[in-house]
Amino acid sequence: MTAGTHEGTAKPGAETISVTFHDDKDGSEKTVQVPIGESLLEAAHANEIELEGACEGSLACSTCHVVVEDPGMYDKLPEPDDDENDMLDLAFGLTDTSRLGCQILASKELDGLRVRIPGATRNFAVDGYKPKPH
């Protein structure tokens, strides 16, 4: 399954769902309306959310890796196929609820979906550093 092309903007009247992107890099969060059938990669680009898609949705990279925050929501997604798993294996910060943004297509039951864009945060960059108690 490969993401097709789409204009990437919610047309007036088109059915949409609400998706929240949390960016680990700077802790920013953005909730956007995603038309049914559109991929999260397309939605991110249409809404100026920093989600790299180096191979343009052709399942040849893992740069649009996102982590589905709610395991219940993750279970609602169709299983990743071999091609997606191949790329996920190489993703930065892989978790049990990781998916590629280009392979998650907006559908009604995903309304309210929250995903995290893993990155090297300042917190991660000082992993192991424990602030002294006051």
Q: Which residues contact 89 (CB under 8 A, 6 or more apart)?
A: none
Is residue 28 close enough to count as binding other proteins by CB under 8 A?
yes
In terms of CB distance, is 50 or 69 closer to other proteins? 50
Q: Which one of the spans 13-21, 66-74, 80-88, 105-113 is the region binding other proteins (CB under 8 A)?
A: 80-88
| C-alpha distance from residue 31 to each of 46, 47, 103, 106 (Å) | 12, 10, 19, 14
Q: Of these, 5, 11, 129, 133, which contacts other proteins (CB under 8 A)?
A: 129
Is residue 62 close enough to count as binding other proteins by CB under 8 A?
yes
Residues in contact with other proteins, counted by CB under 8 A, come to a total of 34
| C-alpha distance from residue 109 to each of 7, 11, 19, 53 (Å) | 23, 20, 12, 25
Kindly tell me the sign of the dihedral angle through the C-alpha atoms of 124, 30, 78, 3: negative
Residue 21 phi/psi, 5-degree rounding, is -105, 125
Q: Which one of the spans 10-18, 24-32, 71-79, 108-116 is the region binding other proteins (CB under 8 A)?
A: 24-32
Cα separation of 78 and 88, whole Å?
Answer: 15
Is residue 85 close enough to count as binding other proteins by CB under 8 A?
yes
Is residue 79 close enough to count as binding other proteins by CB under 8 A?
no
Is residue 50 close enough to count as binding other proteins by CB under 8 A?
yes
Residues near other proteins (CB under 8 A) are 25-28, 50, 52, 54-56, 58-63, 82-83, 85-87, 89-92, 119-120, 122-129
